[in-house]
Copies of this chain bind each other. A is one copy, B any other.
Amino acid sequence: MAKKYERIADALRQSIRAGQLKPGDRLPAETALAEQYKTSVPTMRDALGELLAEGLIDKRHGVGNFVREPRPRVERSNQRHQWEKNRARLLESERLKTGSTEHDTGLTVSDLAFKATYREVKADEDLAAVFSVPVGTRLLEREYRTFPREGDAPFSLVCSHLLYSAVSSNPDLLDASNEPWPGGTQNQLLTVGIELDRIVERITARPPTAEEAEELGLQKGVSVFVLRKISIDTGDRVVEVSDVIMPGDVTELVFTTPLDRW
C-alpha cells in the first residue's frame, strides 16, 4: 500500500493541476488540512514537503501555504559566451545597452538591480589546481548578485576568480565601483590583452547550504545547480574560474554542440 503522505500529496497535486486550487490561492491551515485528510499534522507536513520540493507551493511562516505562481524559467544558454565575445569589441555606447542577464531572461536593464563586491584573496588548493598555480597565488575575487527587482531574491550567486597578475595592469579592473562593466568580463579581459579561446562548464546538483537557501529564498527540499565556468585564453591558460549557484526549480541550462560535417 502506498504511504499515506504520498497519497495526500497526490491528491493535492491533482487539485492544483485540475485547477481547483489556482496559483496564488492560500491552502487551508495545516491543522485544518490534517483534519480534512484524517491524519496528524506531522504527516500532513510530510505531504506538503513533497509539493514544496517540487516547487508547487510556497510556505510562508506565520502566513500560510500558497499555490505557487508558475515562475518563468530562467534559461541560460551556452550561446551567451559567443554573444559576449562578439559584444566585447563593440563601441561603449552599444555595450551599455544590455548585459548577459538580460540576454538570459529577456528583461530590460531597468528591471534589474545589480550588486558587485571585489576582494583580493589567495588561491586555496581547489582553485590553485584549476588555475595550475601554486597555493597562495594572488587572485581577484568578485561576487555578483543580479535581482529581478529590488527586494526580490537574486537569480543566482556568482563568485568569480581572476589571476591578479593577469588583470592588475589595468587598475580600473580592481575597482568594484566600475560595475556593471559595459561589455562584461570578456571586455574587461580585452583591456589587458586577453582573448578567450573556449569555455568549459562543469555542472553538479546538490542541496543548498543554509546560507544559499536563505539568500536565494529557496524552499526546503529544492536543490541547486552548481556550475563552474572555466575560461581559457588563446594561450591555453585558465584566466577565470567562476562558480555559479542557481535554483534548480526555475533554471534551465541549454547547451548547443555543433558537430563536424562528414
Contacts and interface: CB of A to CB of B under 8 A. Distances in A.
Copies in the complex: 2
Contact of A78 (B42, B53, B255): B255
Interface in A3-44: 6, 42
A176 interface: no
Contact of A195 (B6, B55, B261): B261
A257 interface: yes
A42 B45 CA distance: 14
A109 interface: no
Contacts of A55: 206
B258 A197 contact: yes
A100 to B, nearest CB: 14
A230 B42 CA distance: 43
Nearest to A199: B257
A78 B198 CA distance: 14
A259 interface: yes
A115 interface: no
B207 A221 contact: yes
A220 to B, nearest CB: 10
A225 B254 CA distance: 13
A130 interface: no
A206 B255 contact: no
A255 B201 contact: yes
A199 B89 CA distance: 29
A261 B235 CA distance: 12
A223 interface: yes
16 contacts: A85-B259, A89-B262, A196-B259, A198-B257, A198-B259, A199-B259, A201-B254, A201-B255, A203-B203, A204-B251, A205-B205, A205-B225, A205-B249, A206-B223, A207-B221, A223-B223
